[in-house]
């Protein structure tokens, strides 16, 4: 009795899974933690072996049936509780549940031992044992698994998918595992299958060393345990799948991170060596290899050169750089030619080319070469090596192909950038040569023309005596031809400048009417000679415009002199200006012979005067082309409307008109605070306006000091942003006038200036002084400080600067 008890006390689950098993027997679990197992078997609720009822079960197995049923029910429920508790406790460790099952099966069924077998291939191999079993037996059983056939209770249970009992193995003709019987002396065997999704995945089995068949309750109990075991097993399988999936994901994440890092490097850095260094180190790290290099293909000598390396000694690199890795005679070259990865699993077993020879002597044993391709172009080869022999797994090769294409991209990017740099430099030089040529041509050609025109005029003006009619006529021709040549020269130069992007506009605010009157004055004499009436009409709402005044006059003069040229005697030419929104529209209408529709577009091309009839005087054929290009530079457009025999209207539209007064008034009466921006430079104004886009403020603009004063007095804005260098009235004067006037003295002024004159600005009453160029955050901050902008609207809170 005591002996039995003592034996029971020792009957802890013997888990056979060891580290060595874990690798080969896939059904084994990680070892449960000892503390937990101890608690399971020896804990207070664990149904300790000294419990009287249990002792009773051992001695009076055949006593009152009722009592037995009750006892078994109690035990069964205690066992189920225990197992459920174990399941709940050991969600992450289902192996502990199996331990509990085997332990309880043996204990509650009054067996000498219980065993759990798991399916492994075609056989059932011992996984866990509980009860008295010799160590030697366990080892033997591990090495001699049980087949799915009639020779054992386990085999029969598995084959039939139901519980099998062998009442006495020594009296069973089919029983074939006497080897096991002889080692333990068991007589009665009970085995029940563990079934998952209609498959037997294991067998739970127990025995008695006396011939004492298990009764129905014990059988049911075992089946119950088997069912629980199957659930635990499923959990084991799920856990294992989860674990491997997690490992797979972790490795994928590592790969993706590395690729992202490399991708970012490729995208952001043009330092090729840095990018390739990162590519190769990541490639080596992620493929679990020992070293690698990137060899760039050089078309000029048909060979490969080391561009980057990782895990390579300086000595190795020096050796690799010293040799020529040809395309035809090396592994690297062959992989490039074949456009697919090539590997050498054991360098000792292969014929070594110069490159591999160096690697072999440096201690490398296996090599994988992955070509770096960019479309059809062969950029280089990524070489990965190991100090050990062995084939490279396909997933490594696949991974490295991704790295190879990243490297190819990096190299191609860098080459393109290099090319672009060279091209840009060449272009800059060419453009500089062209500018120098034009400048010198301008000087060289103008200088003699100056003399031609000048001396003709000296003679024509009879400065040195009388000339006859014919002399006068010829001198006139000489002078006009000279002037024509000069005009042509100027237009060619201007066009070249436009084409080269070198025509710099100098915008200023000027009166449209004055500019049109100027052009009228230029053609008045010629028009009078042909009795052509020239008129100028400027709409009331057009006053100032911001544009390059000289170029504006050049364009209008070109249109007007053309009109005069092509209008028959006694005709008329009208120059009109009106407003369309913020655009200034200028039209020049003549009563000439018109331009046929098919010529209306062509006429803007160089040296195309169209069939506009005989000109009274030759034009250069470049005027309209140049005018249209200049208008384009203004951000405007030019067009022609013409009806043959009726006349033509050349028109152009350019931005640059200030807002109309009624618009200003309506804006000024809005709910948002008004900010007046004053600057004579259109680009500056545009920039400042853009800064305030999306701000809770209405922006009004003024181009010169006088206009600014008028505007401020009219709308009484929340703030004025004032430039200092202004036409008509400079910023200092505007500031002084605003501060002197009680109506405007309280309006805060923010000065923007290229000059460093802060003390003067603040002394004159400005609130803030900003040096140009002004950043967005500076402007917004200044307007906030003076209270012209309130709140932290999203449009303001962003701190982006241009």
Partner 1 sequence: MTARRILVVEDNPLNLKLVRDVLQFAGYDVIEAQSGEEGLRVAQEHPPDLVLMDLQLPGIDGTETLHRLRQGSLGRNVPVIAVTAFAMAEDRQRAALSGFDGYVEKPISVRALPGQVEAFLAGRAE
Note the residues at the interface with partner 1 (CB under 8 A). 442-443, 446-451, 453-455, 457-458, 461, 463-464, 486, 490, 494, 504, 506, 550, 554
Q: Which of 101, 122, 328, 87 is nearest to 221 (CA)?
A: 101
- 782-to-596, 662, 692, 719 alpha-carbon distances in Å: 58, 29, 12, 10
Is 424 exposed, middle or buried, given 0-12, 13-18 or 19+ CB atoms closer than 10 A?
exposed
Toward partner 1, which CB reaches closer, 464 or 607? 464
Q: How far is the CB of 435 from partner 1 (least distance, A)?
A: 11
Q: Minimum CB separation from partner 1 for residue 681, in Å?
A: 15
160-167 long-range contacts, Cβ below 8 Å, gap at least 24? Answer: 161/193, 161/195, 161/200, 162/192, 162/193, 163/190, 163/191, 163/192, 163/193, 163/219, 163/222, 163/223, 164/189, 164/190, 164/191, 164/192, 165/189, 165/190, 165/191, 165/213, 165/214, 165/219, 167/211, 167/213
Nearer CB in complex with partner 1: 174/506 = 506
Pick 37 or 629: Cβ nearer partner 1: 629
Task: State the nearest-atom distance from the C-beta of 785 to partner 1, in Å.
Answer: 36
DSSP, collapsed to helix, strand or coil, labels residue 795 as helix
Task: Name which of 419 and 506 has its Cβ closer to partner 1.
Answer: 506
Least distance from C-beta 446 to partner 1, angstroms? 6
- Of 379, 329, 90, the closest CA to residue 228 belongs to 90
Least distance in angstroms from the C-beta of 303 to partner 1: 53
- For the bound state, the minimum distance from the C-beta of residue 465 to partner 1, rounded and expressed in Å, comes to 11
Query: What are the DSSP calls for 65-103, one per residue?
Result: HHHHHHHHHHHHHHHHHHHHHHHHHTTT-HHHHHHHHHH
Is residue 179 within 8 Å of residue 211, measured between CB atoms? Answer: no
Closer to partner 1 by Cβ: residue 525 or 800: 525
Report the nearest approach of partner 1 to the CB of residue 486 (Å).
6
What residues contact 9, with CB distance under 8 A and at least 6 apart? 49
Instruction: Please report how close the Cβ of residue 657 comes to partner 1 at its closest, in angstroms.
Output: 23
Nearer to partner 1, 550 or 683 (CB): 550
- Nearest CA among 239, 248, 200, 242 for reference residue 28: 239
- Quote the least distance from Cβ 678 to partner 1, whole Å: 23
Nearest CA to 362 out of 382, 345, 386, 383 is that of 386
Cβ(359)–Cβ(384) below 8 Å: no
Judge whether 371 and 381 are in contact, CB under 8 Å.
yes
CB of 552 to partner 1, least distance (A): 13
**β-bridge partners, 753:** 771
Q: Which is nearer to partner 1, 123 or 441 (CB)?
A: 441
- Return d(Cα 222, Cα 750) in angstroms, integer: 92
Residue 300 CB, shortest distance to partner 1, in Å, is: 45
Residue whose CB is less far from partner 1, 70 or 439 = 439
**Terminal CA-CA length for the chain:** 94
**C-beta closer to partner 1: residue 115 or 625:** 625
Residue 357 or 457 having the CB closest to partner 1: 457
The residue among 360 and 455 lying less far from partner 1, judged by its C-beta, is 455
CB of 606 to partner 1, least distance (A): 19
Closest Cα to residue 625, out of 533, 571, 554? 554
Beta bridge partners of 381: 295, 371
| Shortest separation between residue 453's beta carbon and partner 1, angstroms | 5
| DSSP alpha helix (H) spans, 354-393 | 354-361
CA 477 to chain centre: 68
Select 77 or 432, whichever has its Cβ closest to partner 1. 432
Token pair belonging to 732:
């200092």
CA angle 214, 217, 220 (to 5 degrees): 95
- Give the residue with the Cβ less far from partner 1, 494 or 681: 494
């Amino acid at each position: 009795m005591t002996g039995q008890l003592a034996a029971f006390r020792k009957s802890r689950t013997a888990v056979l899974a060891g580290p060595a098993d874990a690798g080969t027997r896939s059904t084994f679990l990680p070892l449960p933690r000892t503390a937990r197992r101890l608690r399971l078997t020896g804990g207070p609720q664990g149904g300790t072996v000294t419990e009287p009822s249990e002792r009773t079960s051992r001695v009076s197995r055949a006593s009152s049936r009722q009592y037995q049923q009750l006892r078994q029910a109690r035990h069964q429920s205690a066992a189920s509780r225990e197992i459920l508790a174990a399941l709940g406790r050991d969600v992450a460790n289902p192996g502990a549940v199996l331990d509990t099952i085997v332990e309880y099966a043996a204990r509650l069924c009054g067996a000498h031992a219980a065993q759990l077998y798991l399916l492994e291939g075609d056989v059932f191999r011992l996984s866990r044992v509980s009860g008295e079993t010799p160590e030697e037996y366990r080892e033997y059983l591990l090495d001699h698994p049980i087949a799915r056939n009639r020779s054992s209770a386990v085999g029969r249970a598995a084959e039939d998918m139901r519980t099998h009992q062998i009442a006495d193995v020594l009296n069973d003709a089919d029983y074939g595992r006497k080897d096991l019987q002889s080692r333990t002396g068991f007589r009665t065997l009970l085995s029940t299958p563990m079934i998952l999704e209609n498959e037997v995945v294991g067998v739970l089995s127990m025995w008695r060393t006396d011939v004492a068949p298990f009764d129905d309750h014990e059988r049911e109990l075992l089946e119950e345990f088997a069912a629980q075991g199957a659930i635990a097993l499923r959990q084991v399988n799920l856990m294992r799948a989860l674990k491997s999936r997690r490992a797979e994901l972790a490795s994928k994440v590592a790969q993706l991170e590395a690729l992202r890092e490399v991708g970012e490097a490729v995208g952001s850095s043009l330092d090729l060596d840095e990018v390739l260094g990162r590519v190769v180190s990541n490639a080596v790290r992620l493929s679990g290899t020992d070293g690698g290099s990137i060899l760039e293909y050089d078309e000029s000598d048909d060979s490969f050169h080391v561009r980057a390396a990782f895990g390579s000694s300086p000595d190795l690199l020096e050796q690799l750089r010293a040799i020529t890795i040809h395309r035809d005679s090396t592994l690297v070259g062959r992989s490039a030619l074949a456009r697919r990865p090539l590997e050498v699993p054991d360098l000792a077993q292969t014929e070594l080319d110069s490159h591999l020879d160096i690697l072999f002597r440096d201690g490398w044993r296996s090599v994988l070469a992955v070509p770096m391709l960019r479309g059809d172009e062969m950029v280089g080869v990524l070489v990965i090596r190991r100090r050990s022999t062995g084939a490279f797994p396909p997933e490594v090769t696949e991974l490295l192909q991704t790295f190879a294409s990243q490297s190819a991209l990096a190299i191609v990017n860098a080459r393109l950038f290099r090319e672009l740099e060279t091209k840009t430099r060449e272009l800059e030089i060419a453009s500089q040569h062209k500018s120098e040529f034009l400048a010198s041509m301008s000087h060289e050609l103008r200088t003699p023309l100056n003399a031609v025109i000048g001396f003709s005029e000296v003679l024509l003006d009879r400065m040195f005596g009388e000339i006859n009619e014919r002399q006068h006529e010829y001198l006139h021709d000489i002078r006009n031809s000279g002037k024509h040549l000069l005009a042509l020269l100027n237009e060619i130069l201007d066009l070249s400048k436009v084409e080269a992007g070198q025509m710099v506009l100098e915008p200023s605010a000027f009166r449209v009417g004055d500019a049109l009157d100027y052009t009228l004055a230029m053609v008045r004499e010629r028009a009078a000679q042909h009795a052509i009436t020239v008129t100028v009409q400027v709409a009331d709402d057009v006053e100032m415009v911001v544009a390059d005044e000289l170029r504006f006059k050049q364009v209008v003069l070109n249109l007007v002199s053309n009109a005069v040229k092509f209008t028959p005697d006694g005709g008329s030419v009208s120059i009109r200006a009106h407003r369309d929104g913020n655009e200034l529209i200028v039209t020049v209408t003549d009563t000439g012979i018109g331009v046929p529709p098919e010529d209306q577009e062509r006429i803007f091309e160089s040296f195309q005067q169209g069939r506009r009839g005989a000109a009274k005087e030759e034009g250069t054929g470049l005027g309209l082309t140049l005018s249209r290009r200049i208008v384009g530079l203004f951000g405007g457009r030019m067009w022609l409307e013409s009806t043959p025999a009726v006349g033509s209207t050349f028109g152009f539209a350019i931005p640059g008109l200030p807002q109309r007064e009624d618009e200003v008034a309506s804006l000024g009466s809005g709910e948002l605070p008004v900010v007046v921006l004053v600057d004579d430079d259109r680009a500056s104004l545009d920039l400042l306006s853009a800064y305030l886009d999306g701000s809770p403020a209405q922006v009004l603009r003024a181009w010169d000091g006088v206009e600014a004063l008028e505007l401020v007095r009219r709308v009484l804005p929340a703030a004025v942003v004032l430039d200092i260098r202004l036409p008509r009235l400079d910023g200092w004067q505007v500031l002084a006038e605003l501060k002197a006037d009680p109506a405007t003295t309280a309006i805060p002024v923010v000065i923007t200036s290229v000059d460093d004159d802060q003390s003067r600005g603040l002394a004159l009453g400005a609130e803030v002084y900003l040096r140009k160029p002004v950043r967005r955050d500076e402007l917004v901050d200044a307007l906030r400080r003076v209270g012209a902008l309130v709140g932290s609207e999203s449009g303001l809170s962003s701190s982006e600067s241009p």
